Amino acid sequence: MTEVLTQEAPTASEGLSLDRASNRKPMISAAQIARRVHRLGKQISVVYADIDTPLVIVVILKGATVFSADLLRSLSIPAELEFVRASSYPTGTSSNGRLKLAHMVEGPLVGRHVLLVEDIIDSGVTVNAVARRIQRMGAASVRLAGLLDRPARRQVPVKIDFTGFVIPDRFVIGYGLDYAGLYRELPHIYALT
């Protein structure tokens, strides 16, 4: 079952200290993430248990890298790894609505079952565009796994097949999520806004 987080982020006046010695409480702790990713791995393994070829995991770079590595290790089925580089956050904390696809999957996907892995699904623009492109490449099926779902920013409908956490409308960092390329290394997820 997806965890829905309703915890409000601290106000701007409380500040944001992001060093490892910070006493700031994370929105989602490393332990919560680990438990949820493990459960998602089990769920995905059951859904794809009967496919004839290894599952193709397509990771949307760069934010989903940490999540996808942990998810891959939690699977009990064979899987291959491919990458897509896409972005709608050139700088700052909000999408500009323009999707940039800089790198697409290299391997053949005809007749293959694909699991698209994204760190955070908010507007839906990125995952919809990538999913459409993968479908045009002949995939037998395309499903979506997202660590975080931020429905308040949804611009287009998205079907998320495997969801880690539903979060409020906050910009988040840590566990692969960044702000201007920084803070991906943080083990917990913090609200920046």
Show which residues are catalytic. Answer: 122
Tell me which residue of 143, 155, 165, 191 sits closest to 67, measured CA to CA: 165
* CA distance readout (Å), 89 to 43, 177, 179, 185, 188: 30, 12, 9, 19, 21
Tell me the residue ranges of DSSP E strands in the chain.
3-4, 55-61, 79-87, 100-103, 113-121, 141-149, 162-166, 172-173, 190-191
